[in-house]
Structure 1
Amino acid sequence: MSYLKVKKEVQQGRIKPVYFMYGTQTFLMEDLMFHIIKNTVDSLDDPNVISFSLQETLLDTAVEEAETFPFFGGKKVVILKDFSLVTALKQETKLEHDVSRLQQYIKQPSPEAIFIIQAPYEKLDERKKITKELKQSSTLVECFPFDDKMLFLWLDDQAKTNGFHFSNEGKEQLLARTGPKLLMLASEMEKLALYVGENGVVDAEIVDLLVARSLEQDVFALIEFAVKQRLDKALIIYHDLLKQKEEPLKLLALIARQLRIYYQVKEMTRRSYSQKQMASQLKLHPYVVKLASQQVDKFQGKQLLKLLEAATDTDYAIKTGKMDKVLAVELLLMKLASVHSK
């Protein structure tokens, strides 16, 4: 079941006895956990909220806690983190876990407890019995990077939670400024909510006013200006980043990474890969692939290869002391504008 669907159920008070959350987006796990707690015992500091890590605690202990009657009645929330027993990963603990206890529990969970199991891993081992049992007998929540549609739905949901609304341009501009980083987006939306007030509307102009670009987005803008032969704008961003104490070698690495993404997306587009397939193959967020896809038509494949070689040569020249690092990156930006103009 999707994170947004489960969250809606939780907000409506339809809370299930066992939740199994897995995937690489731990922010979604923590956010959903917060809403479950808020709608059951109200506070993270409540004595009826107990958290364990499987790397430090026997599985028996967590199950016994879930079976124990809550303090002062009411409900109890038991959280079991780092649940690696559903993966093929080698266990980094000497603890001997009795998986059968958990299998018995999820078939007949305690009516006084909400048991939250978190597995922050990309893949599950479908051969394991406990994996099958959890997928069958608990509320399964997949916590993976959103595609475009889900990302926009999530932004609307977060805006509603914070008491304001987005214009379409506002959402696009926020993503352009921060990238698809959920934790950063959530933090920025709290700031936007304070600015526009209850039932306010956040548009692109307000985002520009309040939200600073991330380093990755600055590098993206820097390359885009160079591609458009607006070298003056590209150099202004570059020197602003230097004033912020960003290292030229770090900026060079980010420029090279972005060019590499462009080349990979260009080649995969030529081979008729979908953006979803590209994101999966390259292990990139779908929104990053979308932005790259909008840029690659401005390049030929050979041009991108030349630029990647130039970035490698620049890195070598800096590290061998043949060229000043600030000047070397400036020359690379000039080459970026020059190669594209040809």
Structure 2
Amino acid sequence: MAETSSAPDKVLKDLKEGKYAPVYFLQGEEPYFIDLISSYIENNCLPESERGFNQTILYGKDTNVSTILQNARKYPMFSERQVVMVKEAQDVSDLTKDSTEKFLMAYLENPLPTTILVFCHKYKKLDARKKITKHLQKYSVFVESAKLYDNKLPEWINGYFREKNYRIDPKAVVLLAESIGTDLSRMANEIDKLLINVKDPAITITEDLIEKYVGVSKEYNVFELQKAIGVRDIIKANKIVNHFESNPKANPIVMVLSSLFTYYLKILAIHAATDKSEASLAKVVGVHPFFVKEYINASRINDINKCISCVRAIREADKMVKGYTVVNVTDGFILKELLFKLLH
């Protein structure tokens, strides 16, 4: 019985140890953890030979609370348990309606012990004030799958490789983080493809391996662009932007602007910090200590006023991309104009 939300890692650990709960409610803006837990239940809680009669998959748009509970109250056939999974549960029209929530609440208080009922409620959260939400938090394994913050992504990447018994170089971590971003499903897929090719856990994952197997350039990426702009390396910065212009699908301008915006906020955080030690600044900025010197150097070259001016320029570029201020200009033009403002 859970009174607060459970950590995805803890839930997966329990599942792998064969500790099953009668009801799981998986919700949040990050679909990766919801998919990870629900896929494990779908593929492991029952032997394949028993799934035909004892595993029911329902979809939110095509079902309602009454149908869900009817299936949950069935007894398994020739098996010790059954699985009832509600995918896209955010689309169940009467999930939180006053007229039906009392029936779901009653089931939560007294669930069938031979049923594993799973709700996959993606991209949004239930209203925390509603009775049904409080009941789910109390009587189910309630998982909050929150979006990962940018500064937590390197730690997540390191953990993913560690779980697979591989080591990864800090520069390679940053290359992955800056190139792929916080789409964890895509990140996991790219890492899995990489490891299929590398095969040997004794090999440390480097930038070269990522460039070779993930298709990310170690020279022409957002992280290298940030570094070049930070130290006013005009030639290198222009080379990278020209590469982005010729490869727009691999380097979408929205992602570039977001990364640059975050970069300048980190430099501003260094300016604002009272403790200027490298260890402290690494925590403030949210980067590996290995890289904090680059941000410190950039803060010496870009004073507070320059950083504020750059943030404004990035916001203006974002408006241009969205068509608020000008029309009929290419992303390449916007990026080059922005680069000039950042460098001068």
What TM-score, normalized by structure 1, do the two folds share?
Answer: 0.72
Q: 2:240 aligns with which of 216, 237, 240?
A: 237
One-letter amino acid matched to 1:165: Y
Residue aligning to 1:167: 168
| Mapped partners of 2:131, 2:82: distance in 1 | 27
One-letter amino acid matched to 1:99: E
* Residues 244-323 of structure 1 aligned to structure 2 (within 5 Å): 244-245=247-248, 251=253, 254-262=255-263, 264=265, 290=286, 295=295, 297=299, 299-310=302-313, 312=316, 315=320, 319=326
1:60 is the counterpart of 2:61: no
Instruction: Measure how far apart 1:333 and its partner are.
Output: 2.0
1:225 is the counterpart of 2:218: no
* Residues 7-86 of structure 1 aligned to structure 2 (within 5 Å): 7-42=12-47, 46-47=51-52, 48-84=54-90
| SS state at 1:98 partner | helix
| Mapped partners of 1:220, 1:244: distance in 2 | 16
Gaps of 5+ in 2: 1-5, 275-282
Residue aligning to 1:143: 145
| Mapped partners of 2:138, 2:198: distance in 1 | 44
Report the count of equivalent residues. Answer: 312
Instruction: Measure how far apart 1:70 and its partner are.
Output: 3.0
One-letter amino acid matched to 2:30: Q
For each residue in 1:29-80, what CA deviation from the matched residue of structure 2 results, as whole angstroms up to 9, or x when unmatched?
0111111222212559943332223443120101110111234434321122
Residues 172 and 220 (structure 1 numbering): CA distance in 2 closer, same or farther, change over 3 Å?
A: closer
CA contact (8 A) 1:37 1:43 kept: no
Residues 139 and 332 (structure 1 numbering): CA distance in 2 closer, same or farther, change over 3 Å?
A: closer
| SS state at 2:67 partner | helix
Percent of aligned positions with the same letter in both sequences? 21
| Mapped partners of 1:258, 1:44: distance in 2 | 48
Bigger Cα displacement from structure 2, 144-153 vs 95-104? 144-153
1:207 is the counterpart of 2:207: no
CA RMSD of aligned residues (A): 4.2
1:156 is the counterpart of 2:162: no
Residue aligning to 2:113: 111
CA contact (8 A) 2:81 2:114 kept: yes
For each residue in 1:143-168, what CA deviation from the matched residue of structure 2 results, as whole angstroms up to 9, or x when unmatched?
113466796367535664xx541235
Residues 271 and 129 (structure 1 numbering): CA distance in 2 closer, same or farther, change over 3 Å?
A: farther
| Mapped partners of 1:328, 1:154: distance in 2 | 32
CA contact (8 A) 2:267 2:307 kept: no
For each residue in 1:252-277, what CA deviation from the matched residue of structure 2 results, as whole angstroms up to 9, or x when unmatched?
x555444444455566777779xxxx
Residues 85 and 44 (structure 1 numbering): CA distance in 2 closer, same or farther, change over 3 Å?
A: farther
Gaps of 5+ in 1: 274-286
One-letter amino acid matched to 2:310: L
| SS state at 1:30 partner | helix
Q: 1:181 aligns with which of 153, 158, 183?
A: 183
Residues 32 and 328 (structure 1 numbering): CA distance in 2 closer, same or farther, change over 3 Å?
A: closer
Bigger Cα displacement from structure 2, 148-157 vs 224-233? 148-157
CA contact (8 A) 1:262 1:304 kept: no
One-letter amino acid matched to 1:307: C
| Mapped partners of 1:16, 1:93: distance in 2 | 20
| Mapped partners of 1:261, 1:186: distance in 2 | 23
CA contact (8 A) 1:20 1:134 kept: yes
